[in-house]
Chain A
């Protein structure tokens, strides 16, 4: 049986193998998605992001368990960083969700960033589509622990949950212009610790500056004790309803698709230029001239684009 048939028959091994292929840029997986693209778009995709150690995995585990009680099926993608030195990675988020491993209604996959910056990995979009075709109701994407500018998540999901913890107070100042802008919902996890209310207030104050038609709620929870998880799930659903009723869901998804198509074009153009050794030779000659100051980088770029054979772009497989 081929992979398409096995995927349609809800075979977890086919899902797993297709994600592996997506990670290694196997063109066969693109053919599979092309054929089954009409089946995508039905799952609500939730991003879980936040600084390291705030409890993203534990929170994901509890939210998924709450959804399982309602009989919803869930796909989970957990991203951890690849070592820039060895190319290896330790993917440890599953430790927090071992009970879900044997649940037939849940599929969990750990992915390494493989050099991609931005908090996710390049293959994440393809992985989401494979899970959508596998027909899950919800998809969770957990990012690597983020600092200030890893905001790829927002281009890949419908609802972004930003997970913080007490004492992140001072950090919030620093985070203001980056990741703090992407949360649709803010969570103060480990709220049994000192300073939770203060952190909540600081975030509320920051959000009050904004003028948005969806004012992100700020919820205090204790994920490990399952405290306020049901309430958080309600807020996630409220956001889902808000997106649907205001047509913001289509808007958001259209915007994300536009970015994706632009990225794909960009990648194709770059690949087709540098796949040709002829073009690479030309470029190397120009770089040498820049090195010896016979030419400046700007003129070299203009000349390169004039000389390179760009006609075949997009026709390469």
Chain B
């Protein structure tokens, strides 16, 4: 693959009506030179995974503020596994208690960025883990 922008899907699963965080991240990713697909609020994990497949994204960034992260994040990862997608970086963000993070990582979420994380940290993490794109 030749040099191209990193493609990121910013997704908001579940019954969570607050998307300021997701929008701030989407803009930060855009300003870092990435192509960001934003799908809006109240997505099912099935919708998110289908969109991620069709958009062929390198990164799936999921924002959750509702407290349902322990259910929704692993569900997305499981659906990706069922589709045999292994080359997609899955990261999560939002209001997620520290004690939940190790278990989420065990289940296949690469990294969790809790609220208050500077956008630059998430951007660095993505760039670091998408070197194959920027070859």
Contact = CB atoms under 8 A, between A and B. Distances in A.
A132 interface: no
B53 A90 contact: no
Give the contact-size bracket for chain A: 20 to 34
Contact of A88 (B1, B36, B44, B83): B36
A269 to B, nearest CB: 21
B56 A16 contact: yes
B39 A87 contact: no
Contacts of A125: none
A86 B1 contact: no
B51 interface: yes
A92 B37 CA distance: 6
Interface string B83-101: 1010000000000000000
B51 A101 contact: yes
B30 A19 contact: no
Contacts of A112: 5, 35
A26 B33 contact: no
Contacts of B50: 101-102
A173 interface: no
Contact of B2 (A15, A19, A25, A94): A25
B35 A89 contact: yes
Interface in B34-53: 34-40, 43-44, 46-47, 50-51, 53
Give the contact-size bracket for chain B: 20 to 34
Interface in A87-116: 87-92, 94-95, 98, 101-102, 107-110, 112, 114
B124 interface: no
A98 B32 contact: no
B40 A95 contact: yes
A16 B55 contact: yes
A90 B83 CA distance: 26
Contacts of B26: 90
Contact of A107 (B2, B7, B44, B54): B54
A135 interface: no
Contacts of A92: 37-38, 40
A109 B55 contact: yes
A13 B30 contact: no
A95 B32 contact: no
A112 B36 CA distance: 9
Contacts of A19: 56
Contacts of B85: 13
A155 B128 CA distance: 40
Given A101-B51, A109-B54, A23 B36 contact: no
Contacts of B4: 20, 23-24
A12 B49 CA distance: 12
Interface in B12-70: 26-27, 29-40, 43-44, 46-47, 50-51, 53-56
A94 B35 CA distance: 14
Interface of B: 1-5, 7, 26-27, 29-40, 43-44, 46-47, 50-51, 53-56, 83, 85
17 contacts: A13-B53, A16-B54, A23-B4, A26-B1, A86-B30, A88-B5, A88-B34, A90-B27, A90-B38, A91-B37, A92-B38, A92-B40, A98-B40, A102-B44, A102-B46, A110-B37, A112-B35
Interface of A: 12-13, 15-17, 19-21, 23-26, 82-83, 86-92, 94-95, 98, 101-102, 107-110, 112, 114
Given A16-B54, A89-B30, A114-B5, 14 more contacts: A13-B56, A24-B1, A24-B2, A24-B3, A82-B35, A83-B31, A86-B32, A90-B36, A90-B38, A91-B37, A101-B46, A102-B44, A109-B55, A110-B37
